[in-house]
Structure 1
Amino acid sequence: MPAEAVVDLDAVAGNAAVLRGRLAGAQLMAVVKADGYGHGAVPAARAALAGGATWLGVAHVHEALALRRAGVTAPVLAWLLTPGLDLTAAVAADVDLSVAAPWALAEVAAAARATGRTAGVHLELDTGMSRGGSSPAEWADLLDAVAALVAEGAVRVRGTWAHFASADAPGDASVDAQLAAFAGAVATARSRGVEPGLLHHANSAAALFEPRARFDLARCGIALYGVSPAPDVATSAQLGLVPAMTLTARLAHVRAVPAGAGVSYGLTHVVTRATTLGLVPLGYGDGLPRHASSGPAGAGAVLVGGRRRPVLGRVCMDQVVVDLDGDRPGPGEPVVVFGAGEAAGRPAEPTAQDWADAAGTIAYEVVTRIGPRVPRRWTGAVAGGAA
């Protein structure tokens, strides 16, 4: 293949163990939504469980059901419901569902009655992010409806949760405000006869940087894959995390060009000296960010022959041109687009964070958007049966 994404499942398991060690007794929910942030949901789930995770989290019901079809039996929470979903398969498969509004609770209860089972629910509260979750004004009414359905036996409350807006900025005032709102909501639940179950508010950043937010369970996504949730605060290496994905390719073409040659679409880059160029058969159609094209803010870079080679000109759909600086490796020469870098003792190797910095985005987006045209290969001692 012209390119592949190699996923080190031992790194995923090791990162899970690091996170579990930071949680001071709280459980770890490994978030494997979006196909495990591009790493493969089923292999990542199995590796995370091997590393000490006890729960799995996904956004959508179909993601949870894919885990069940693959034989994954660990507790799974799916948290993004829309009206009209068929929830019976999820309830029958013992997938927990998040509810934040009466309509969602009613649809979960209907699925429970249809299957003759009690549905596990997690109550989502908006503590200040203004995204998902029950608003404080609606919380009491939701609790009363929950209490009635618990008494009926249609649902059981397995958890109560919320999400931070700015946990990646330790000390931000919003963190204190959200924690206070969460504590108040939990107290209200108990006062209205609803036991809240497992309390979970922490994402990767809060799990690592905010001990007060760890509660009973922490939902960790990006850190599980070895990427720092707050690189300005601490790098992956400083956190003891190892990036699990290495995106590789092989040079498709090498050519010499004279000074003054324009490069790629629009000829937006003109070389100022004679050099050699390498063609890497990956582009924005495979997930490389087009915003990492060369320009005043810098550019993405790859590793060829032990040296970083910057992108020249625009990132194209299927390919990108890099500056080989007069070197003449042959076509087929291995290319590391990004990998574990410093966290694996390879400081010259670009990382997903480097590409994110070049594109003005976050590393979450870089790893998650590597598309299906790039095959995955899973390695490591825990890889047996993981795929």
Structure 2
Amino acid sequence: MSEKAPASTAHLRARAEIDLNALRSNVRALRAIAPDAALMAVVKSDAYGHGVLPCARAAVEAGATWLGTATPQEGLELRACGRIPDGVRVMSWLWTPGGPWQEAIEADIDVSVSGRWALDEVTEAARRAGRTARVHLKADTGLGRNGCQPGADWTALVSAARHAETDGLIRVTGLWSHFACADEPGHPSVAAQLGVFREMTDHAREQGLRPEVRHIANTPAVLTLPESHFELVRTGIGLYGISPSPETGVPADFGLRPVMTLSASLALVKHVPGGHGVSYGHHYVTPGDTTLGLVPLGYADGIPRHASGTGPVLVAGKWRTVAGRVAMDQFVVDLGGEEPPVGSEAVLFGPGDHGEPTAEDWAQAAGTIAYEIVTRIGTRVPRVYKDV
């Protein structure tokens, strides 16, 4: 079981304990796996639910020289906090027309461009700002999501970007892409995408672009595909000590340790007879006389309703299973006649050191991925930081 919350937080209904030393250790482990590349710590979506500012600062302390966010608003918030060293680059990549391009340029944020509309908007913003924009051109090498298509589209985008560089409006600081199946080692699309990426970046260089970094490696590629590391790797889920997939390996295989431990205090323990229906729909009926424990977390806090009847919880040293449906604010576990005191700790997931489930266990129970388990933990659950 995880360490108890400090006395000042012991009264909390629930808590997500964030081990910043584990995060620092993960950064160092990932840097050791890709020693010749700079490391970007991806802190989008409030650092995958772990808390963006504490995690960003811890990652930088451990050697990350880039921070990555999806939305420009996330990047602007990082810069506005005033606690990210000037030498650390911040990149934001998910843009829509009319976005805060000028604000990003003035905040020294690297921006991503996947098409001419975005290049037109960033160059106009650079004119207004009177500053050169730092731009990463994104190539769609096979994911079929964001990014510029190879062939004529890429040729035209590279040409336009080179002209904008000549005019002093932008500097192409990066060329990048994203894998579709890097979490499935040996998938044929991985080698195919890597080949397309090399072709597209070679073309950009032939046309005179001189980016500081090329980057395509996400966490699974960092762990399993050294030829994809180039000058920069982007580490997301691995930063938080979670494996990108069971096929890739467990966290310990790579020297990683889960950062978040989610727990709650039992709100009620009571005796009930056999045949007693539990929670909405009575999808669970007690098989005999037993005790029920009430865990004050529900789907409003990010507990997957799909884990009704399957989600694992450690209470009083034993694994229990969600009994019946997960409700908005609470769920029930069958304690099998045992009577832990009200207020006893129920651990939903953590590193697994003391027999508690992991985020991957919850992912399996809910039919999803561990990324979703940690990122969906809501703001009603306070984050309690260790080793700040």
TM class by shorter-chain length? over 0.9
Q: What is the aligned partner in structure 2 of residue 365 from structure 1? A: 372
Q: What is the aligned partner in structure 2 of residue 89 from structure 1? A: 103
Deviations 1:107-134 (A, max 9, x none): 1111111111111000100000100000
Q: What is the aligned partner in structure 2 of residue 306 from structure 1? A: 317
Query: Is 1:227 aligned to 2:242, yes or no?
Result: yes
Deviations 1:275-296 (A, max 9, x none): 11100000000000000001xx
How far off its partner does 1:159 sit? Answer: 0.7
SS in 2 for 1:28: strand
**Residues 260 and 350, structure 2, Cα contact 8 Å, conserved in 1:** yes
Q: What is the aligned partner in structure 2 of residue 194 from structure 1? A: 209
Question: Hey, what's the Cα distance between the residues in 1 that align with 2:338 and 2:135?
Answer: 59
Q: What is the aligned partner in structure 1 of residue 165 from structure 2? A: 150
Among 4, 24, 29, the residue aligned to 2:35? 24
How far off its partner does 1:88 sit? Answer: 1.1
**Residues 257 and 274, structure 1, Cα contact 8 Å, conserved in 2:** yes
Question: Hey, what's the Cα distance between the residues in 1 that align with 2:108 and 2:35?
Answer: 28
**Residues 142 and 180, structure 2, Cα contact 8 Å, conserved in 1:** yes
How far off its partner does 1:335 sit? Answer: 1.5
SS in 2 for 1:133: coil
Question: Hey, what's the Cα distance between the residues in 2 that align with 1:213 and 1:128?
Answer: 15
Among 144, 163, 173, the residue aligned to 1:130? 144
Q: What is the aligned partner in structure 1 of residue 190 from structure 2? A: 175
Q: What is the aligned partner in structure 2 of residue 9 from structure 1? A: 20
Q: What is the aligned partner in structure 2 of residue 79 from structure 1? A: 93
Q: What is the aligned partner in structure 2 of residue 353 from structure 1? A: 360
The one-letter amino acid of 2:68's match is G
The one-letter amino acid of 1:198's match is V
SS in 2 for 1:122: strand
SS in 1 for 2:256: coil
SS in 1 for 2:147: coil
Among 295, 298, 322, the residue aligned to 1:280? 295
Question: Hey, what's the Cα distance between the residues in 1 that align with 2:344 and 2:243?
Answer: 30
Question: Hey, what's the Cα distance between the residues in 2 that align with 1:132 and 1:88?
Answer: 22
Query: Is 1:266 aligned to 2:281, yes or no?
Result: yes
SS in 2 for 1:309: strand
The one-letter amino acid of 1:116's match is G
Question: Hey, what's the Cα distance between the residues in 2 that align with 1:234 and 1:86?
Answer: 40
TM-score scaled by structure 1?
A: 0.95
**Residues 127 and 163, structure 1, Cα contact 8 Å, conserved in 2:** yes
**Alignment coverage as a number of residue pairs:** 373
Query: Is 1:216 aligned to 2:216, yes or no?
Result: no
Question: Hey, what's the Cα distance between the residues in 1 that align with 2:199 and 2:69?
Answer: 27
Structure 2 unaligned residues grouped into runs of 5+: 1-11
Question: Hey, what's the Cα distance between the residues in 2 that align with 1:151 and 1:67?
Answer: 30
Among 31, 35, 50, the residue aligned to 2:46? 35
**Residues 308 and 324, structure 2, Cα contact 8 Å, conserved in 1:** yes
| Runs of 4 or more above 4 Å deviation | none
**Residues 41 and 239, structure 2, Cα contact 8 Å, conserved in 1:** yes
**Residues 304 and 334, structure 1, Cα contact 8 Å, conserved in 2:** yes
Among 302, 324, 348, the residue aligned to 1:337? 348
Q: What is the aligned partner in structure 1 of residue 118 from structure 2? A: 104
Question: Hey, what's the Cα distance between the residues in 2 that align with 1:233 and 1:151?
Answer: 44
How far off its partner does 1:165 sit? Answer: 0.2
Query: Is 1:51 aligned to 2:62, yes or no?
Result: yes
SS in 1 for 2:211: coil
- Could you say what the CA RMSD is over the residues aligned between the two structures, in angstroms? 0.9
Structure 1 unaligned residues grouped into runs of 5+: none
**Residues 220 and 248, structure 2, Cα contact 8 Å, conserved in 1:** no
The one-letter amino acid of 2:174's match is G
How far off its partner does 1:377 sit? Answer: 1.2
Deviations 1:119-174 (A, max 9, x none): 10001000001000000131000001000000011100111000000000111100
The sequence identity of aligned pairs, in percent, is 53
Question: Hey, what's the Cα distance between the residues in 1 that align with 2:94 and 2:239?
Answer: 21
Question: Hey, what's the Cα distance between the residues in 1 that align with 2:158 and 2:97?
Answer: 20
SS in 2 for 1:81: coil
Segment of structure 1 superposing worse, 84-93 or 141-150:
84-93
**Residues 222 and 228, structure 1, Cα contact 8 Å, conserved in 2:** yes
Question: Hey, what's the Cα distance between the residues in 1 that align with 2:89 and 2:205?
Answer: 24
Deviations 1:182-239 (A, max 9, x none): 0100111122222233010000000001111111111010000000012233111222
